[in-house]
Structure formats: C-alpha cells, structure tokens
Structure 1
Amino acid sequence: MPNHHELDEVYGAQTRAFRIWMKQAGYTDTTQKEYMREVYAYLHSLDELAVEQAGKMHVISFLVSKQQATGDRTRNRTLSAIRSFYAALIDFEMTARNPAMEVKKSKTEKNKKPVYLEEEELALSLAFIDGRYRNRNLAIFLLMSYCGLRVGEVHRLNRSDYKKAKGTIEVFGKGRKWNEIPVPEALAAMLTEVERERIEPYREKEDAFFVSQKGKRLSIRQIQKIAGQTFEAFKRQYPKLADMKLSCHKLRHTFATMLLRNGVDIRVVKELMGHASIETTMIYTHVNDQQKKQAMSTINIPLHAIG
C-alpha cells in the first residue's frame, strides 16, 4: 500500500477534514489512529477514484477483501471508521451521501458467547495482583471487574472525575458520552489510598488518576500489561483456566454477568455498562452449565406410567 503522503496527494483535503472532525467530536487518540489507518486502507482501494463517486459496492468490496483475513468484529470496526469518515465529509459539505450507511454490520458477533470469570474465580484472581504499585494495579483491576470500565475509560480517568462526596466516578465512555457510576465502598477506600500514593506527574497540570513510574498517564498498553501479567500468574495456579482467553474486556463481561446473575434489572445494567442499546446488554443473559443442570433437575419423568 502507498504511504500516507502519497494518498494525501489525492485525498489530502478529505483526510485533513476527517482528523479535524474526529478531534472536534471528542474521539479518543486511540480511536483516531485506528480510524485513520482503516480510512487510508479504504482510500487506497479506491485507486484514486473521487471519494464522492464511490458507492456501496466500493465499500463492500473493501470489507470483503479484509474479511478474508479478519473476523466479523474487525469488519464492523472498519465499517464504523468508513461511516465516520463519510459523516465528516458530509458535515464539511465535501460530499452529499454516506455509502457506508447502506452497508449492514455483521450480526455474527452478537451471537458469540461472552467469555467471563465466575464470581469465585474473579475473587481468586485478585490474589495474583502484585508488585511495587500493587494498590494502583488492584484499583485498576477492580474498576474493570466491579465497575465495568473499559480499558480506555480507565486510561482517561482523571482525579477530578472521582467525586468522593457523592461516591461516584464520571466516565467518558464509548459514543463520547459521560456516565456516572456509583463506586462500591471498598473500592472507594482503595481509590483514596491510590490517590494518596500517586506519583507526582511529569507535567504540572496532568490530572491523570493512574500515573506510571515515570510520572506520565498510564497508557492503555500498560494497563493491558498489568491485567495480562495477573492472568498469566492466575492461570499457572489454576490450569483448568489455561485455555480461557482472558483480557481487560473479559473483566467487563464478568461485571455484567455478575449483575444479571444477582437479579439486577437489565435496564440498570445497560446504564452501568454505558450501552447505547439494550440489545447489546442482552448478550450477557447467558446461562452456565450448572444452571442448566439445576433447571433439568426440576423435571420429573413418570417412569411408573411407562410400564
């Protein structure tokens, strides 16, 4: 694929407009980078065809070419990037239509069973959070598993987002929406301790809640590494979980599953998870093997009637 400079010779006005639009709309730095990468790949596929002349078939052809090497989840993220790109161009009156909106998202991923830890397994995993910054790392882990925060939301969390008097945190989440989440008392006490131990940031005005040993906002990759090391140690101790693909997002799955298992109204779970649609929350209403066995144990086959 040509480098970005070569593509900008043809589509420079459009890519500059998209960058400005995403920044103004409040997209995270990570999303901006991912979306720009997807859009540059899409523009390369147009082979210098004017963006406003591209149609539904061009978008589908590009998605099909990518889907051969990736799954439905990646395909949908790519489609979202292209949709946003055209939305930006329409906003700046650089095109009149969004052909990507005519392409349906894949539904396959909605049928995929979420991976999650049982509540007892989650409790056991906490013992494997260790190291010099144990309290900080434990607070991060708990925010994802007992408050349902996404890794990006933990990364963006500022001290000013933690409202001690109210016992809540304000989370800037997906869809560029703010969500206020009550903090369990045990976690609130830990957040206060982490704030007390917090390393003085390198930048004077840095408000990041979680800071690295170098005094910078803890990156998404660093947070993922903290969780990854915990999971590795946990799985070594409990080999039966060795094949389970655990990650930061799986902690979020665990949080939603726990709430629903404990009888929390799905509408409340939707709000706590920051979902735009209750259909997204519905994927967490899965049942486990033990629940199936318990259900089947209520069935009485009248053997005496069979003869």
Structure 2
Amino acid sequence: MPASDLADELDRYLRHLAIERGRSPHTLAAYRRDLTRFLEALQLEGVKVPAGVTSEHVTRFARSLREGPDPLAASSVARMLSSVRGFTRFLVDEGRIPTDPAVDLVAPKQADRLPKALTIAQVEALLAATDADEPGSLRDRALLELLYATGARVSEAVALNVDDLVGVDGTADLVRLFGKGSKQRIVPVGSYARSALDAYLVRSRPLLSVRGRATPALFLGMRGARMSRQSAWLVIRAAAERAHLADELGEHGISPHSLRHSFATHLLQGGADVRVVQELLGHASVATTQIYTRVTADALRDMYVTAHPRAR
C-alpha cells in the first residue's frame, strides 16, 4: 500500500466516522480541531507520515497540553487525547502502522463535576419571565417549557420540525426527539408545555413564518428562519436575567443544559425510576444517568444534616 501523509489519513478517518460511525457534523468538527492540533505538533517534529509517529511523540504532545504556556483543563486534555487514541487505532486497523503509539496513553484524572440543577422555584421564576403576549415571548415560553418538560438538549429542540409534535386527537402530547447519532426517542409533553406550544403555534409562529421562507422548523427566529442554538441560549440567559437569578446561581450562572439537568433531578426527586429517566434523556448507558441519583442523594443528606438533632 503506498505511503500517505497524515493530513490525508485524517481526512480518511473523518470520512470513516461520518459514513460508518454516523458521527454528527458538530462531532466531526471537534475531532478535526483536536487532531489538527496533534498533526501540527507532529509536523514541528518533522513527522509527516503515519509510520513516523512514536509513543514518545504522543507522550510529548500530551505533556504539552497540560504543561504548555496555555495549559488546558483536564476535561479538554482528556477529550483531545481520546481523539488521538481513536485516530491511532484507526491507523492500526487500516494497516497504516503496525502498532498503536497511543496504546499506553493515560488521560488525566478529571474533577468529579456534578450537574447543576435549578430548584423548582427557580424554574418557575425562569418560565414566568417569558410571560407576555408578543410573538417572541410566546415562542420563548414554548421553548423553555418544552426544554423543561422533556429534558431535551437545546440542539435537539431547535432541530425540531412541527411534525415532530405527535399525539392523539390532534393533541401534541408527545414529541419526537433526535439525539446523538440521530437516535430517535419519543418523550411525553406535559400540560403546561402543551399549552405554551399551542399558544405559540396559533398566535406567534404564523406571524414569524411570513418574515422568511417557508420552513418546517418548529421554533423560528425573528426573521422567520429556523432558530439557532446560539439564539436559544440567548433566550435562556435573557429569561434568567429578567428573573433575577444571577445572584442565586453564582458566578457560573445558568448553562444551556440547566433545564435538562433540572428535568432529570426533579424526576428522580419525585420518585421516577433511573432507567425511565435514562430513556427520557436518551442516554446510551444508565451509568450516565446515575450521576443524577448522586445529586439527589447529596440533597437528601444536606437536608438530613440540617434537620435531624443528632445528625451533626
């Protein structure tokens, strides 16, 4: 097999991820950024072909991420090294190199970060901050109610089409969400979210749709096109500011996943089974969902220590 340079192999690897592994454009872009940085480091050492990559090159690259002039956070280092390991395994599988130079690479230990959920009162304040009759406010209320009612990722919500609202007797009591890898799941929509969606679809979306080209998108921007993730995030942040939640939420404030975290945490606090929450969130493994059980357990422990006379 003729030799090829590392840039060509990177393109082949990304095509493999897209076609055979079904990775999303967003994921592919992240892989390309990480691996381009790896290839640039190799080029500085004069390495341009796969056969020239050694374990020492990989080790030095990993060290540069942690100890360079602009060291990365442990989570970012772990992500980049995961990209490198996937790429070198691909080179071995394709017969480009005989052994994997990253086989002994160990990712840095990451801090155990628990998801930050809002309290029920904070969620209610956030939703109430969009309580107005203007087209934009009706849309914002429908978006936020849907995010909290379903646990959808912001990217999943803005990707919805009107036809993804499904149910019986014309009632949109279910929504069809498409998660990572285009995996589909059906999630119930509660009565508050249904009412907000009905108000938006009847009184707001028709007014927004005439401002742009015809689109099946459920959530529209002010110019009539599909709403972007960035615009949705701005809606959440603006609602948090109007609800005066900044002081309560601390320096990190609200995140795009705040309503998703709150959805999961409040379900578990209400007695929902962790495997049901796993299905609703679209997690491939229940282990990912179980981190929320720790959040609820920590909250119970804090309440116990505060309330029980012999707890302290």
Common fold by TM > 0.5: yes
CA distance in 2, matches of 1:92, 1:160: 42
Q: Distance in 1 between matches of 2:12 and 2:286?
A: 33
TM-score, normalised to structure 2, is 0.78
Match of 1:194 in 2: 200
Matched, 1:252 2:252: no
Among 215, 218, 228, the alignment partner of 2:224 is 215
TM-score normalised per structure 1: 0.79
1:226 and 1:36 map into 2 onto residues whose CA distance is 30
CA RMSD of aligned residues (A): 3.2
Cα distance, 1:194–1:90 mapped onto 2, change above 3 Å: farther
CA contact (8 A) 1:167 1:182 kept: yes
Post-superposition Cα deviations, 1:217-244, rounded to whole Å, max 9, x if no partner, equal 21111111111111222236x7343435
Matched, 1:31 2:27: yes
CA distance in 2, matches of 1:76, 1:175: 21
Map Cα deviations across residues 188-227 of structure 1 (whole Å, 9 max, x no partner).
23223333332337444x3221121222221111111111
Paired residues, what number? 290
Match of 2:289, as an amino acid?
T
Give the direction of change, closer, same or farther, for the CA distance of 1:97–1:177 in structure 2 (3 Å limit): farther
Q: Secondary structure of 1:115's partner?
A: coil
Equivalent position SS for 1:133: helix
Equivalent residues of 2:7, 2:39 under 8 A apart: no
Task: Map 1:17-166; keep pairs closer than 5 Å.
Answer: 17-24=12-19, 25-47=21-43, 48-51=47-50, 53-54=52-53, 58-68=57-67, 69-83=71-85, 85=87, 103=105, 108-109=110-111, 111-129=112-130, 132-165=135-168
Does the 8 A contact of 1:171 with 1:180 survive in 2?
yes
Cα drift, residue 105 of structure 1: 5.0
Q: Percent identity?
A: 27
Cα gap change, 1:297 to 1:12, in 2 (>3 Å): closer
- Deviation digits for residues 139-192 of structure 1 (CA, Å, limit 9, x no counterpart): 221222221111211122222322133732121112442221111122123223
Equivalent of residue 284 in structure 2, options 276, 284, 294: 276
Alignment partner, residue 16 of structure 1: 11
In structure 2, the gaps of 5 or more residues are none
